[in-house]
Amino acid sequence: MKIIPYLSVGPLKINMKKDEIQKVIKEEPKAFMTDEDEPAEHYVNAGLLVYYSEDGLTSNAFEFVGKSNPEINGICFLEMTEEKALETLRELDRSVIEVADTHISKKLGISLYMLNDRVESILVFENGYYDEMFELLAELDNEI
């Protein structure tokens, strides 16, 4: 599935409604709340986690794991080694931001989560998705 930054992944569009996503995926999701108490759904067989805005109905990010195969610029990062993924990501965006095990490309609208020296997941997000976190990190930097 082709990633179009800040817009879509294949037939899934950022800001798509929950019922529209369920029609596309054709699988019963498992609902859960994120650590930030935001609603989300896991489509286990599709290898997809969908994160929703505060209304609980409008998607703001899609996270792909396992067998799913999202690609950007013809590149599929899932299961790639961390070294190769970071080298490739930095070729596409020289301003990659690293926060713990996550590498964020604001230019591409994606982030890569690393686990055991491999790409564990790829998150495709709406514009502004990480803004609150970036503001908090900037405040912490100013306090030091």
pLDDT digits (tens, 9 = 90+) for 12-61: 999 999 999 999 999 999 999 988 888 999 999 999 999 999 898 999 99
Number of Cβ atoms within 10 Å of the Cβ of 67: 10
Residue-averaged pLDDT of the chain = 92
If you search the block for the tokens 């997000």, which residue do you land on?
125
Number of Cβ atoms within 10 Å of the Cβ of 21: 20
- How confident is the model over 80-132, as pLDDT tens digits? 999 999 999 999 999 999 999 999 999 999 999 999 999 999 999 999 998 88
Please state, for a pLDDT cut of 90, what percent of the chain lies above it.
78
- Diameter of the chain by CA atoms? 49
pLDDT value for 71: 95
Distance CA 34, CA 108 (A): 24
pLDDT value for 144: 63
Question: Distances from the Cα of 124 to the Cαs of 109, 112, 138, 143, in angstroms?
Answer: 6, 9, 23, 31
